[in-house]
Structure 1
Amino acid sequence: MNLHYLILAHTQAAQLRRLVDRLAGPATSFYINVDAGVDLAPFTEAFRGSPPEVHLLEDGERYATPWGDIGLVHATLELLQRVLRTGREGYCILLSGQDYPLRSNEEIRAFFRQRPRTNYIESFKLPSNVWAQGGLNRIREYKYNLSARREDFITMPSPFCRRFYRPSVIKSWVKALLRGKLIVDRKLLRPRRFPAYLQPYGGEHWWALTTETVRDIFSFLGAHPDYLVYHRDTVLAEEIFLQSIVNHLYRNEPDRIAHKVTFANWGTEGQSGPTDLRINDLARLRKLGPGYLYARKFNATVDSAILDALDARTAISN
């Protein structure tokens, strides 16, 4: 079985190299997109002398991946296509550059061998109380970026929807005007509706999918090119895009979908990203069940001791 790691990174070149070295082994390959808005030079230097199984997208190939933007979907699809072109069957495992394994490479491989046709992806049907407004605002309203800064955007329903006249929407409209953003867009004349040929699902972006499933995903996208176009306007499209497709593909085979394999500490309710894991979180990580293979996120410049401790825990079995 081949393990194909897809990594989306934007910072911490040395930590990214440490992650790759930790996971490297037989029948293991890496496909890495460093955010196109970030200087690639530190990453190129960090991976100087790396084995041929490490594929770092070069300038001109990379995708910009700002928070919550469709670029994350495009980058993920590009990395998946590169895996399929190898023809090597196995698992495609999506990580961020600040993830780290909780198990040894042998334990990880044994886990995937147990159920070689199962896809490990968090998914819940929308609307869901997991997300504010049931997540329906993400798929019913149009997203407009006010800048490239994290979370600097507004969402807007069509004026032909009653939601357009809520105080919160009017406030967003005024916010855009005060920022010099006059939003005059013909698509607002059409109420935004999720494609009728599948049920919307949500979930975290990080998952492990079989290469069989990945091929079926691209077949689906080939048959429904409008699906990708629709998600250009979705807030955090990466948390809906593949989750909905996978659940559609296996709507009659629910046993083909299982719990996510990456742990994240979301801390306080409503925060936009997981809390950094530190050495005082080690006991909690050790108590996680065997189904958690990875965790996020870590910052080696703030606390590298947690990474050292995780390495020490798995060194014998590696």
Structure 2
Amino acid sequence: MDINYIILAHKNPEQVGRLISRLSTSNTRFYIHVDSNSAIEPFKQQLATTKHCFLLENREKGTWGDLGIVKATIHALRKIIRDHRRGYCVLLSGQDYPIKPNKKIESFLTIHQGTSFVSAFALPKSSWDYGGMNRIEYYKFNLSDNRGDYLMLPYVLSKEFLRKWVHYVHTVRKLVRLKRYPWEILKKRRFPRYMQPFGGSQWWAIPVEVAEKLLFFFDHNPKFLSYHQYTLLPDEIVFQSLVKHLHITPIKPSITYVNWERPNVVLPVTFNENDFQELLSQPEEMLFARKFDAENEPKILDLIDQFLLTG
């Protein structure tokens, strides 16, 4: 079973190198996208002697919540297809890590060959703020490339804008002071009528054959991506909506474990050594977990190496 790992990275090249080292087998290839806001040289140095590892030449800004992350993923899928790879495409971040041995990962994907592991639920969804509809009906404008430094504006004639017009006029003024003129809000923003919106986890695994179908759609429907230029967190909507629109089957939930539910901490949880039992208790279909910080919490990765990746 060929496994093609797409790794979205923006920091900690040593941690990325460690991730690749743990996942490397004769059947694996690694397609690494380094955020264009990050220096590429440390990654080149870290991965210089790593086999079957490709740093993508087309680099996008990985601004949090923006379309660049989706475009980066598409670049990787295109490279995988050009390389005539088969098997699976597995999307990870540079702060992910396996919690199952390589043999179990390969065996699991072989047994479930043909299944797409994409978490996808119809919008609106009660667990998302505003049901998630603000993400696709409002316009997102960045104030900078810093995480969370953005503004959201609805259509200027919408009930929401008119109800809170003082607030939104103030928001418009903020943008104008930055010489950003939000003419877009003069037009009502509509999700493509031919498709139902779905949301879900950014992290997925799909057969190469499904990747080919996705790329065919992107190539023949360029307006779909351009629409998402103003979507908040399109990485949690674009692929999820598309696999449902294309009637991709069978589909099962993501195989990457993420904890979004712990109170009084920054989410998602950044795991440390105290979370080892939580990771140990994950079911067999959870092959990976996020997120980890090897610079500040290296012991958890050592525990995983010692006790979970020895099978």
TM-score (norm 2): 0.95
Q: Which moved more, 1:270-279 or 1:13-22?
A: 270-279
**What is the CA deviation profile of residues 248-303 of structure 1, one whole-angstrom value per residue up to 9, with x for unaligned ones?**
1126x4xx110110011124579874121001000011111111000000011111
**What is the CA deviation profile of residues 125-148 of structure 1, one whole-angstrom value per residue up to 9, with x for unaligned ones?**
000112100000011111111111
What is residue 13 of structure 1 aligned with on the other side? Answer: 13
User: In 2, Cα distance between the equivalents of 1:313 and 1:148?
Assistant: 39
Q: 1:75 to 1:292 in 2, by over 3 A?
A: same
What is residue 54 of structure 2 aligned with on the other side? Answer: 55
Contact 1:265-1:277 within 8 A present in 2 as well: no
**What is the CA deviation profile of residues 87-135 of structure 1, one whole-angstrom value per residue up to 9, with x for unaligned ones?**
1211000000000000000000011111211000111100011210000
Q: Which moved more, 1:216-225 or 1:17-26?
A: 216-225
User: In 2, Cα distance between the equivalents of 1:191 and 1:17?
Assistant: 45
What displacement does 1:221 show?
A: 1.7
1:24 correspondence with 2:24: yes
Q: Where in structure 2 are the equivalents of 1:214-293 lying within 5 Å?
A: 214-250=211-247, 253=249, 256-268=250-262, 273-293=267-287
User: In 2, Cα distance between the equivalents of 1:144 and 1:44?
Assistant: 33
The secondary structure found in structure 1 opposite 2:211 is helix
1:192 correspondence with 2:186: no
User: In 1, Cα distance between the equivalents of 2:269 and 2:152?
Assistant: 26
The secondary structure found in structure 2 opposite 1:4 is strand
User: In 2, Cα distance between the equivalents of 1:313 and 1:44?
Assistant: 30
Contact 1:32-1:57 within 8 A present in 2 as well: yes
Q: Which moved more, 1:111-120 or 1:218-227?
A: 218-227
Aligned length: 310
Contact 1:176-1:182 within 8 A present in 2 as well: no
Contact 2:35-2:59 within 8 A present in 1 as well: yes
The secondary structure found in structure 2 opposite 1:242 is helix
What displacement does 1:175 show?
A: 4.0
1:4 correspondence with 2:4: yes
1:174 correspondence with 2:170: yes
Using the aligned pairs only, state the percent identity.
Answer: 36
What displacement does 1:158 show?
A: 1.2
User: In 2, Cα distance between the equivalents of 1:271 and 1:209?
Assistant: 31
Structure 2 segments unaligned to the other structure (5+ residues): none
What displacement does 1:177 show?
A: 2.3
Among 203, 206, 212, the alignment partner of 2:209 is 212
What is residue 36 of structure 1 aligned with on the other side? Answer: 36
User: In 1, Cα distance between the equivalents of 2:233 and 2:213?
Assistant: 23
Q: 1:226 to 1:3 in 2, by over 3 A?
A: same
User: In 2, Cα distance between the equivalents of 1:122 and 1:97?
Assistant: 20
Contact 1:143-1:154 within 8 A present in 2 as well: yes
What displacement does 1:307 show?
A: 0.5
User: In 2, Cα distance between the equivalents of 1:249 and 1:79?
Assistant: 20
Aligned partner of 2:162: which letter?
Y
Q: Which moved more, 1:147-156 or 1:170-179?
A: 170-179
User: In 2, Cα distance between the equivalents of 1:232 and 1:108?
Assistant: 35
Q: 1:72 to 1:104 in 2, by over 3 A?
A: same
Q: Which moved more, 1:174-183 or 1:15-24?
A: 174-183
TM-score (norm 1): 0.93
Aligned partner of 1:174: which letter?
H
Aligned partner of 2:297: which letter?
D
Aligned partner of 2:7: which letter?
I
User: In 2, Cα distance between the equivalents of 1:35 and 1:16?
Assistant: 13
Contact 1:144-1:155 within 8 A present in 2 as well: yes
User: In 2, Cα distance between the equivalents of 1:94 and 1:304?
Assistant: 23
User: In 1, Cα distance between the equivalents of 2:30 and 2:151?
Assistant: 35
Contact 1:146-1:176 within 8 A present in 2 as well: no
What displacement does 1:185 show?
A: 3.4
Structure 1 segments unaligned to the other structure (5+ residues): none
Aligned partner of 2:299: which letter?
A
Aligned partner of 2:296: which letter?
V
Q: 1:274 to 1:315 in 2, by over 3 A?
A: closer
